[in-house]
Amino acid sequence: ADPHDNNKEEDQVVPLRGYNRIMVNSMTSTLAVPHMVYSDEIDMSSLKRCREELQSVMASTEGIIKLSYLPFAIKACSLALKQYPIMNSSIDVDKMTLTYHARHDIGIAIDSPKGLVVPVIQNCQHLSIVDIAMELARLRDLAGNGELEEHDLVGPTFTMSNIGSIGGTYMSPVVLPPQVAIGAMGKIQRLPRFVDGSSGSSSMEVKEAHLMSISWGGDHRVIDGGTLGRFSNVWKGYMEAPLTMITTMK
């Protein structure tokens, strides 16, 4: 057979509809955003123990079979947004205004059979970690069955992505206008780390640590590097000491 004979092979033209069309429109608008990315490493060891203790309780009382780290991350994000409300704002370039949103409507990027979808967990500032876990489970079920409705997808003020569920470590998340920030969590890795000695002195002792990377994307027209870094540090503090979330929540 002639390897150059491709008469039986034809290109396929597929119309962009539904989620795919939404993706094209939203990603095209990101071209106008001057992006800035900030990354850090989070020690998830304490949260790992906390999650394991809560898992059996939530399975028996709330019917949540698998409690992921994402509800903790979302609540920690909401608590950090209270301290840095500019991260929960939206920009209107035509009117040259910045809107600080009272509601923490956090979009969650989910890999569905129909492609990337971003359903919204609304009013996270008023929800507990259990509430967020239950709503996240509901939205994931709808996304998996292709049954998300318009009200599930409208109006996020901030977005989180968990690329680590697929296996990635770091990524450069893309801000979705008019939002001004987005976070992307990487996979958790079991790695050795040196233990700090007394008073912060150096030590040769090594311990096991469960580490996760976090990457934040920001619209540099609104957010500067210092603000993004300080916001990340507050979020990191809640993730590394999860019991502090309980004392902060109202």
**Residues catalogued as catalytic:** 220, 224
Give 97's contacts (C-beta < 8 A, 6+ positions apart).
Answer: 91
DSSP conformation letters of 11-70: -------HHHHHHHHHHHHGGGS-EEEEEEEEE-HHHHHHHHHHHHHHHHHT--S---SH
3-state helix, strand, coil in the chain (%, to 5): 40, 25, 35
Alpha helices in 70-192 (DSSP H): 70-83, 129-144, 150-153
Q: Which of these, 77, 174, 190, 203, lies nearest to 132 by C-alpha position?
A: 77
Q: How far apart are CA 85 and CA 80, in angstroms?
A: 8
Those residues whose C-beta lies under 8 Å from the C-beta of residue 152, and which sit 6 or more positions away, are: 119, 120, 139, 142
Burial of 55 (0-12, 13-18, 19+ CB in 10 A): middle
Q: Are 86 and 222 in contact (CB under 8 A)?
A: yes
Torsion of CA 66, 68, 70, 74, to 10 degrees: 70
Tokens of 207: 């311990």
